[in-house]
Structure formats: structure tokens, C-alpha cells
């Protein structure tokens, strides 16, 4: 149930933790509101955290000098004192960040108990990153990766850019196979300015190739943070009894007993996750593995941590 | 190995249930989309052997549970016949060899060879009954003629399986209840010897009993004058005791023929060539079926000394070569001494498997529970 703005009626009553719960976020239909919803919930929980200064926090007033952005004029002070002051903020550096979202068909997957599909989760998370970036005066760009680099937006600041990014994220459907490595290689070739690459993918691909592409990005001076997003059903093989497992991308089938292979499956999956994590960290990047049931703050904190490191 | 109630073994068909469940379970696989199939593929190949083993172990445990349950209910035991019957027995001869028995005859040879008496049991469909002399009483009397007042007859059910299993020869009188016929079949299957004697009622054995005995018989015309056995035609071991007239003259008594046998070689023939007794073989067992009963209404055989000799000859002919002893019901082949006192109970080495089977059943149930619970807990953890 949602109102005209696409917000659940319970919106007002939610606690900060609930803002970050995918089950709750799912009820917000519009992506921009969803991002706002997540970020505001996240910021509400940051009061005592070391990341407090990352939000658009007012620092001090100083006298206006020609050349200052008139948008920063504090009209309340002017009304009271008849003098022009501008607001200054703690974070005034401009960061260029790319939201690299995997749009392959495998990302459309939602397990039986999944609150949202991997793609929905990645989109909400990317939108939240974009929201945070734009509202801190940073520049945000977009790279949608399927078989290759399907869509590319150079980083810019401002709400209009955020709207463009969100529109692209909303518009592009999950389809086709995965060639994340090819997309990242293309991105590495096209982006010359040192940027923060926020890669959101399930990484259902060959680790060697993907890590090779990340190495390419790192070699170009980009900071890479990889958010691996899996469904809980993928993570734990939450099925029981005899099943025919079918890959939605390739149509490949395996008939097996889910209970019988669960341990071996988890072992193999975790091994691959560990390979990614080790590989990305060795390249100076960061790696976060999560499921669609993970609260959004985990990824947002990682993002803020990475941004602080770059400041 | 024989069973208290072999009909329960039919329940072994229930073994199909776990098999069907197993096979249906395999077909129940549903298609589930999963982008990370390649991990499942590797896991499937890697754990194939282990999964097969677990599945097979669970199926085997379930089959074993069903089989053990059925076997336990069927009451299996190792009969003494499978331990060489009477070998350890301490039976005392109850009845003296018939006075008319020829010295140096088969009876004496058998006694000299085996040194142990035959255990003869008389089974009557109607069971003990007072106030009336019946065929079974007459047969019983021939084996304890000096203690006839102490003789009790029994039904197969009353006798108990151990007494039946311990008997070297059973005189089976008249038709029997179907479950008793099943007992008879089991007894024969393990090498027992049965002499079937028509009861008081003039009816042939029913199809089930006939099959158990290995003979086919139909009711014959009641010949009023009776038929005598040709005294010159003694060729069978059954009448060896009568050779030379030492055992009496079988041609003298008047028989009243009640049955006509089909498709069976006559072990003893009437004068007109028709079978007076036919021999059958059922697995390891031997049977002898008589066409004329010894009941008093049927002829004068029972009143003659030849009758005693004939009954002993019949027992010797089909049973193992040993001396006769009559086992009264409840004495389990212990028999009675000549003065009527109970003989020492035979140390019949019967082995009852029921406790072991019950133990194995409990173990299998536990194994099945553990295996099934492990599968269930995996399923629960998967859902959670």
C-alpha cells in the first residue's frame, strides 16, 4: 500500500533502523524517494558515528565575496543583519564517483523469501549512493553493465544529474548475459579522471576475468569498491529436497538433492567470494558481500569510509 | 527356519512402500531458478557418491524396518529338525514294541541304529473329548496301549509349535483348521513326517490340506462289505511287519473305504488294486495318507492286534528310523515311561529369533530416525 507519492503510510512512524530494512524500503515505489528514504534513515542513525561529518553539515558563516556561489547565501542572516554571509560546509571537495550496476538477467533473480530482487536492491543502493553524493556536492556518473558497458553517464553534480542517473537506473531492465569484465574494461578505457568506482553486481562470473578488469581500473588510478549482492537463497541454497536448478541466464540445469549438496555448494560459493575479496583487496580496493536481506547501512557505511579515505 | 504364523510373511509386500516412496521422491523434483547454478553443478558432482550412500542407507534402513517388523510378527524360530531332531533328547521308550512284532525286524534294526525313540504326536481337529472313542483315540492307543486312559489328544494350536516341531511323526487325524494346515506345511517343509488318517466324518481332505499333503483325494463309495488287503501282495515296507504272518494277517480285517486317491502311487493297496494308502512328498517332508480310517463305525480294524502293528509300521515307514515314543500334549516330546510317569523333557534345541529380531528392529528404527532427522534438519535449516 502506498500513497500518491509512492510512500508507505507507515513512513512517518519508522525508526532509523527500519529505514534501512529492505523489507520496508520495498514499500517505497519511486526510486528517488526510496533513495531519500534510505539516506535519511541512514543519516538519522549517524549522530554518534565517526562519519557524522560526511553529511552536508553546516560549518560556519563567512562574508560573501564576489565569486561565491549565490546558492550558499544565507538569506535569514541577511534579513536580520542586512549583510551577506555564505554558509560553508565541512565537505566541499568534489568527488567523482561512478555507480557501476550489473544489469544482467541473473540480477533479476529474487529468491522465494527475498524482499526484492538483486537488481532492485542494487538499484536502491546505487540511488542512495547517488543521493548522498549529489547532496554532498560530489559528482556522480553511471555505468550499466550487462554483456558489456550498456549505458554510460559521465559524472556531474546537481539534482538534475541525480534525476538522470535515477531515470537510467529505473529504465534499464535486467536482460542478457553477464560480461562484467568486458564492461569494466570499457569503463577503464573511457574514464580518464581518477574516480571512485562503486561496482554493484552478483559477480556470477569468472573471478579471474572480473579481477583482471578491476586490476585494469586500479591501474588507471580508480578506487574500486565492489558490492557483491546475492540473494539469501543463492547464499545458503535455501531449498529442500529434490530440485532442478536452472540458470536463468544460460538455461543450464542441474537435477539434484538440495539438502545433499548444500554444504558443498556453500563451500564452493564462499571460496569464490573469498577469492573476490582477496583479489579486490590486493588491488587496493574494497569488497563487501551482502544479500538482499542485508540492511542498507552496511553498504552506506562502507561507502562513507571509502569516501573519507579519499578526502 | 519356520514361523509361528507364516501367513504374516505376506506382509513383506509392504516392502514396496518405502521403495515407492523412494522412487516417487525422486520424481518430485521441481524446477527452481538459481543464477549460481555453476556452484551447484560442482557440488552435485562432488557429493554424488555421498548423497547416493545416504539415500541408499535411508532406503535400506526403511526396508529393514519393514522386513524386521514382519519377521518379528511372524515369529521365526529354528526348529529342532534343523538340529537333527531328538539327537540330544533323553526320551524314555513309552510303549513296548508290539508283542506281535517280529524279532530282528525293522523296528529292532532302527533301534539298534539310532538308539533313540520316535516322538509321535497325534493331532486331532476336534481336540480332546470325553465320553466317546474316536479315530484319534484309537491311533493314540496303538502307541500307548498299556496306558490308554492317560492319553490325551490335541489340536495343532493347542500342541504348540515346539511340540509339533519336535515330533518325528505326526498322525494328523481328519480335516484341520486352515491355520493348522499352514503349520502342517511348515512342519513338512523342514523334513517332517505325517500320516494322515481320515477322521470320523466321511470327508476327504479339503484342497488346502490335500495340497499340504501332496495328494489328491475324493470321497469314495462306502462299500458295505469292506475290502481286504491282499495278503499275498505285501511288497511295501509299510506291511513288512506282516511278512510271514508274524505281524498278523492284514487280509483279515474288514476295511471300509472312504476315499479314492488320484495320481499317487499306492503304498498299500486294496484287493481290487485301489490305493489304501498313498505316499506323498512335500519338499523335504514325507506324507502317508490312508483311504480308510480306524474309527469303530468304519470297520473292525481297530479291534484287532494288526491295527497296532500297522500304525507302528506306518510311523516307521515315514519317520526317521528310531524307536517309538508317544508324546502327550504339553510334554513336548518328553513322553511317558512305561509305568505312566512323565519322562525327562527332551532338550530340544529350538532357537527363538524374536528377541534378536526385536533388537535389530529397534536399532534399525533408530538408524532410520537419525538418517531421516538429519535430512529433515537440513530441510528446516534450508527453509530458515
CA distance A94 to chain B (A): 38
Other beta carbons within 10 Å of B262: 11
For A209-224, the pLDDT digits (tens) are 999 999 999 999 898 9
Place of cell 558490492: A227
- State yes or no: ipTM above 0.85: no
Instruction: State whether B160 and B302 are in the same domain.
Output: yes
Distance CA A196, CA A99 (A): 9
Better-scored residue on pLDDT, A154 or B327: A154
**Sheet strand arrangement including A253-257:** A253-257, A242-246, B30-33
A263 contact residues in B (CB cutoff 8 A): 43, 47
Q: What is the domain-level CATH number for residue B121?
A: 3.40.50.880
Q: What angle do CA A149, A153, A157 make, to 5 degrees?
A: 150
Domain of B45?
2-75+353-383
Facing residue for B36 by CB, picked from A204, A239, A263: A204
Closest CA to A129 of A144, A146, A141: A141
Facing residue for A247 by CB, picked from B30, B35, B54: B35
Task: Judge: A260–B28 Cβ closer than 8 Å, yes or no.
Answer: no
* Average pLDDT of span B177-183: 75
Nearest CA in chain A to B25: A242
Q: What are the angstrom distances between the C-alpha of B211 and each of A236, B121, B172, B367?
A: 64, 21, 14, 42
Helix orientation angle between A180-190 and A207-219, rounded to the nearest 10 degrees = 10
How many separate helices (H) and strands (E) can be counted in chain B? Answer: 11, 13
Helices of type H across A220-282: 232-236, 258-282
Other beta carbons within 10 Å of A67: 5
Instruction: Band the pLDDT of B94: cuts 50, 70, 90.
Output: very low
Closest CA to B35 of A268, A208, A109: A109
* Average pLDDT of span B47-71: 84
How many separate helices (H) and strands (E) can be counted in chain A? Answer: 11, 10
B110-114, B232-236, B243-247: least confidently modelled range: B110-114
Query: Where do the structural domains in chain A lie, given as residue ranges?
Result: 58-89, 96-310
Q: Pairing state of beta strands A196-201 and A96-102?
A: parallel
Task: Judge: A247–B34 Cβ closer than 8 Å, yes or no.
Answer: yes
The residues in B 20-59 lying below 8 A from A, measured between CB atoms, are 25-26, 28-44, 46-47, 50-51, 54-55
Confidence (pLDDT) at B51: 72
Q: Pairing state of beta strands A58-63 and B193-197?
A: unpaired
- In a domain, residue B332? The reply is no
Place of cell 519508522: A14
Nearest CA in chain A to B40: A265
- Is B281 near chain A, with CB under 8 Å? no
Q: Tell me the range of A15-29, A50-64, A249-263, B129-143 where mean pLDDT is highest.
A: A249-263
Nearest CA in chain B to A243: B29
Exposed, middle or buried by CB within 10 Å (0-12, 13-18, 19+), for A93?
exposed
Instruction: State whether B59 and B124 are in the same domain.
Output: no
Confidence (pLDDT) at A311: 57
* Average pLDDT of span A144-149: 86
Task: Judge: B30–A243 Cβ closer than 8 Å, yes or no.
Answer: yes
Cβ burial B113-147 (10 Å sphere, 16+ → b, else e): eeebbbbbbbbbbbbeeeeeebbbbbbbbbbbbeb
Place of cell 484342497: B207
- In a domain, residue B342? The reply is no
The span from the first CA to the last CA of chain B, in angstroms, equals 51
Task: Tell me the three cell numbers of residue A21.
Answer: 530494512
Instruction: State whether B63 and B132 are in the same domain.
Output: no
Query: Is pTM beyond 0.80 here?
Result: no
B46 contact residues in A (CB cutoff 8 A): 261, 264
Task: Judge: B383–A240 Cβ closer than 8 Å, yes or no.
Answer: yes
Confidence (pLDDT) at A143: 93
Distance CA A67, CA A73 (A): 12
Helices of type H across chain B: 16-27, 37-46, 48-74, 106-114, 135-143, 156-159, 161-166, 178-189, 207-213, 305-318, 354-383
User: Taking an 8 Å Cβ-Cβ cutoff, which residues of chain A contact chain B?
Assistant: 106, 109, 202, 204, 230, 233-234, 236-250, 252-265, 267-269, 272
Place of cell 565541512: A90
Instruction: State whether B321 and B228 are in the same domain.
Output: yes
CA distance A54 to chain B (A): 37
Distance CA B80, CA B348 (A): 6
For A107-136, the pLDDT digits (tens) are 888 888 877 889 989 988 888 888 888 877
Distance CA A153, CA A139 (A): 11
Q: How many domains does chain B have?
A: 2
For B279-323, the pLDDT digits (tens) are 888 778 888 888 877 766 556 666 777 777 788 788 877 877 544
Return the percentage of chain A with pLDDT > 90, whole number: 23
A258 contact residues in B (CB cutoff 8 A): 382
Residue B199 has pLDDT above 70, yes or no: yes
Instruction: State whether B35 and B94 are in the same domain.
Output: no
Confidence (pLDDT) at B146: 39
Distance CA B286, CA B212 (A): 11
Task: Judge: B28–A242 Cβ closer than 8 Å, yes or no.
Answer: yes
- In a domain, residue B335? The reply is no
Q: Which of B25, B26, B33 to mutate to test the interface with A (most CBs of A within 10 A)?
A: B33
Confidence (pLDDT) at B330: 37
Task: Tell me the three cell numbers of residue A255.
Answer: 537435477
Facing residue for A248 by CB, picked from B25, B29, B33: B33
Choosing among 3.40.50.410, 3.40.50.880, 3.40.50.170, 3.30.43.10, the CATH entry for A96-310 is 3.40.50.410
> How many beta-carbon pairs below 8 A join chains A and B?
113
Instruction: State whether B300 and B229 are in the same domain.
Output: yes
**If you average pLDDT over every residue of chain B, what do you get?**
68
Instruction: State whether B58 and B87 are in the same domain.
Output: no
Task: Judge: A241–B379 Cβ closer than 8 Å, yes or no.
Answer: yes
Closest CA to A134 of A105, A168, A96, A103: A96
Residue B365 has pLDDT above 50, yes or no: yes
Amino acid at each position: 500500500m502506498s500513497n500518491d507519492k509512492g510512500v508507505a503510510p507507515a513512513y512517518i512512524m519508522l525508526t532509523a533502523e527500519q529505514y534501512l530494512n529492505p523489507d520496508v524500503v520495498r514499500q517505497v515505489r519511486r526510486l528517488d524517494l526510496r533513495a531519500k528514504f534510505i539516506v535519511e534513515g541512514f543519516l538519522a542513525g549517524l549522530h554518534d558515528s565517526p562519519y557524522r561529518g560526511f553529511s552536508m553539515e553546516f560549518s560556519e558563516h563567512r562574508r560573501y565575496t564576489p565569486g561565491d556561489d549565490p546558492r550558499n547565501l544565507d538569506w535569514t542572516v541577511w534579513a536580520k543583519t542586512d549583510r551577506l554571509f555564505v554558509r560553508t560546509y565541512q565537505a566541499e571537495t568534489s568527488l567523482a564517483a561512478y555507480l557501476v550496476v550489473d544489469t544482467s538477467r541473473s540480477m533479476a533473480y529474487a529468491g522465494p523469501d527475498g524482499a526484492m530482487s538483486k537488481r532492485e536492491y542494487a538499484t536502491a543502493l546505487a540511488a542512495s549512493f547517488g543521493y548522498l553524493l549529489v547532496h554532498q556536492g560530489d559528482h556522480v556518473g553511471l555505468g550499466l553493465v550487462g554483456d558489456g558497458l550498456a549505458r554510460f553517464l559521465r559524472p556531474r553534480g546537481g539534482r538534475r544529474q541525480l534525476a538522470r542517473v535515477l531515470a537510467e537506473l529505473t529504465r534499464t531492465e535486467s536482460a542478457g548475459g553477464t560480461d562484467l569484465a568486458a564492461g569494466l574494461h570499457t569503463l577503464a578505457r573511457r574514464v580518464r579522471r581518477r574516480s571512485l568506482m562503486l561496482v554493484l553486481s552478483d559477480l556470477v562470473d569468472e573471478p579471474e576475468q572480473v579481477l583482471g578488469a578491476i586490476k585494469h581500473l586500479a591501474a588507471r588510478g580508480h578506487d574500486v569498491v565492489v558490492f557483491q549482492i546475492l540473494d539469501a537463497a543463492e547464499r545458503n541454497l535455501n531449498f529442500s529436497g529434490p530440485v532442478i536448478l536452472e540458470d536463468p541466464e544460460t538455461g543450464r540445469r542441474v537435477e539434484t538433492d538440495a539438502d545433499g549438496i548444500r554444504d558443498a555448494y556453500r563451500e564452493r560459493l564462499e571460496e569464490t567470494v573469498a577469492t573476490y575479496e582477496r583479489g579486490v583487496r590486493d588491488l587496493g580496493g574494497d569488497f563487501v558481500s551482502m544479500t538482499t536481506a542485508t540492511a542498507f547501512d552496511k553498504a552506506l557505511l562502507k561507502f562513507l569510509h571509502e569516501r573519507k579515505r579519499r578526502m | 527356519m519356520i514361523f509361528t504364523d507364516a501367513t504374516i510373511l505376506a506382509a513383506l509386500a509392504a516392502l514396496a512402500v518405502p521403495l515407492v516412496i523412494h522412487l516417487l521422491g525422486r520424481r518430485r523434483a521441481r524446477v527452481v531458478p538459481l543464477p549460481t547454478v555453476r556452484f551447484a553443478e560442482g557440488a552435485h558432482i562432488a557429493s554424488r557418491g555421498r548423497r547416493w550412500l545416504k539415500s541408499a542407507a535411508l532406503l535400506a534402513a526403511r526396508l529393514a524396518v519393514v522386513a524386521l517388523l514382519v519377521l518379528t510378527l511372524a515369529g521365526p524360530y529354528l526348529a529342532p529338525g534343523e538340529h537333527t531332531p531328538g539327537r540330544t533328547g533323553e526320551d524314555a521308550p513309552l510303549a513296548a514294541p508290539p508283542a506281535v512284532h517280529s524279532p530282528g525286524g525293522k523296528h529292532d534294526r532302527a533301534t539298534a541304529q539310532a538308539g533313540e525313540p520316535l516322538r509321535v504326536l497325534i493331532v486331532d481337529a476336534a481336540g480332546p473329548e470325553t465320553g466317546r472313542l474316536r479315530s484319534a483315540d484309537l491311533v493314540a492307543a496303538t502307541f500307548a496301549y498299556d496306558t490308554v486312559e492317560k492319553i490325551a489328544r490335541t489340536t495343532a494350536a493347542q500342541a504348540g509349535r515346539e511340540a509339533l516341531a519336535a515330533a518325528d511323526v505326526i498322525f494328523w487325524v481328519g480335516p484341520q483348521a486352515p491355520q493348522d494346515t499352514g503349520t502342517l506345511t511348515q512342519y513338512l517343509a523342514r523334513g517332517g513326517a505325517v500320516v494322515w488318517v481320515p477322521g470320523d466324518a466321511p470327508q476327504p481332505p479339503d484342497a488346502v490340506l490335500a495340497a499340504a499333503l501332496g495328494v489328491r483325494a475324493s470321497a469314495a463309495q462306502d462299500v458295505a462289505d469292506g475290502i481286504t488287503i491282499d495278503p499275498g501282495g505285501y511288497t511295501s515296507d509299510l506291511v513288512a511287519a506282516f511278512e510271514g504272518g508274524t505281524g498278523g494277517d492284514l487280509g483279515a480285517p474288514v476295511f471300509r473305504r472312504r476315499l479314492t486317491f488320484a495320481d499317487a502311487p499306492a503304498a498299500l493297496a486294496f484287493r481290487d488294486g485301489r490305493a489304501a494308502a498313498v505316499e506323498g512328498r512335500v519338499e523335504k517332508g514325507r506324507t502317508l495318507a490312508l483311504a480308510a480310517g480306524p474309527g469303530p463305525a468304519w470297520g473292525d480294524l481297530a479291534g484287532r492286534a494288526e491295527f497296532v502293528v500297522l500304525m507302528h509300521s506306518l510311523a516307521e515307514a515315514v519317520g526317521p528310523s528310531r524307536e517309538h515314543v508317544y508324546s502327550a500334549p504339553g510334554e513336548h516330546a518328553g513322553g511317558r515311561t512305561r509305568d505312566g510317569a512323565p519322562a525327562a523333557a527332551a532338550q530340544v534345541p529350538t532357537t527363538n529369533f524374536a528377541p534378536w529380531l526385536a533388537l535389530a528392529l529397534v536399532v534399525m528404527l533408530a538408524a532410520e530416525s537419525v538418517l531421516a532427522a538429519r535430512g529433515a534438519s537440513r530441510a528446516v535449516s534450508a527453509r530458515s
